[in-house]
Amino acid sequence: MNSLYPLKFNPIFKEKIWGGQKIKTLFNKKFSPLPNCGESWELSGVEENISVVSNGFLKGNNLEEIAEIYMCDLLGEKNYEKYGTQFPILVKLIDSNDWLSLQVHPNDDLAMKRHKQNGKSEMWYILHAEKNAQLISGFNKELSEKTYLEKLNNGSLSEVLNYEKAVKGDVFYMPAGRIHALGPGICLAEIQQTSDVTYRIHDWGRVDDKGNSRELHTEQSLEAIDFKRYDDYKLNGTKVLNQSTNMVKSPHFTSNIIAIDKPYVCDYYSLDSFVIYVCTEGKFKLIYENGEESVQMGETVLIPATLSELKLIPEEKATILEVFIES
């Protein structure tokens, strides 16, 4: 059997009522004939949206097929034991030209009980933000369910929502249960559990081109929402040049950021997991045992678990998200 290598995938483009053009203008991803692109799914094991390889001898095979053949060599032993052939991480690029709905995602227990799926915790890394761009993350004070419903029904919920200014390089972690919404003028990379379960709470009175409003999930969302207030809505996204700096360490994934201006060696001998690279700035050459791969801003690469040492060589400077699952 041929050896695995760093895998690239064809993006899966999603038109959205709030989508814009930045997936094309910032990352040169052509999503025609869609009029806009709100989401580009860069790496996905979601049923009916499984990523297809775009490079090397596995080109044309989808992620699930490769997992069935290579199993632990691709995923790592513990990941394969836990998740089987369904890839556990979903990577998206998101472009918001308008407010996304105010929404929440269920945790693993609730999602499994209701939908036979994983829950959905996610991380946002801001790639581009226009002046005064903002987003909603959680509440600005602790609420009871009764107070929340009163404010939702009388139109005053915005008074208790936590608004955050968004600038390039910001990092936000949205654990399952945290109410959130992305505002206009933001483009980001999203790292999340493999799940597509969303409870829409409020959609700003918006209708589609046929005059129809989107479904809301007021009752379903109640059991999912965490009504507490937190102090750490925005995380520290400070980069240390030529080091891997941790941003998120959760039960579902670890996410670091690597900023380099000279060759950098990645040692994964003690890691029992695949690694995902998302290039957020610049471009770099990825050197591995049997070859090399060029990676530029907006591209995602999946590093199989069997590749234990890599060298990253930047063209001038590059910034990379490094994502894996720790045992």
Torsion angle (degrees, nearest 10) of CA 289, 295, 299, 302: 0
Bridging pattern class, strands 300-303 and 134-139: unpaired
Homologous superfamily (CATH) of 243-324 is Jelly Rolls (2.60.120.10)
* pLDDT at residue number 53: 98
* pLDDT at residue number 237: 81
Which residues are part of the catalytic machinery? 200
* pLDDT at residue number 245: 95
Nearest to 18 by CA among 250, 182, 160, 169: 182
Instruction: Please state, in angstroms and rounded to a whole number, the distance separating the CA atoms of residues 184 and 68.
Output: 40
- Return the H-helix or E-strand segment holding 201: strand 199-202
The region, left, alpha or beta by phi > 0 then psi within -120 to 50, assigned to residue 63 is: alpha
Tell me where in the chain the CATH 2.60.120.10 domain(s) lie: 12-230, 243-324
Torsion angle (degrees, nearest 10) of CA 194, 101, 105, 327: 40
* pLDDT at residue number 128: 97
* pLDDT at residue number 1: 65
Domain 12-230, CATH class in plain words:
mainly beta
State which residues of the chain have pLDDT below 50: none
Instruction: Please state, in angstroms and rounded to a whole number, the distance separating the CA atoms of residues 267 and 275.
Output: 11
* pLDDT at residue number 209: 74
Instruction: Please state, in angstroms and rounded to a whole number, the distance separating the CA atoms of residues 294 and 309.
Output: 17
Nearest to 177 by CA among 230, 215, 213: 230
| Average pLDDT over all residues of the chain | 95
Question: Residues near 273 by Cβ (< 8 Å), separated by ≥ 6?
Answer: 75, 76, 78, 79, 305, 324, 325, 326, 327
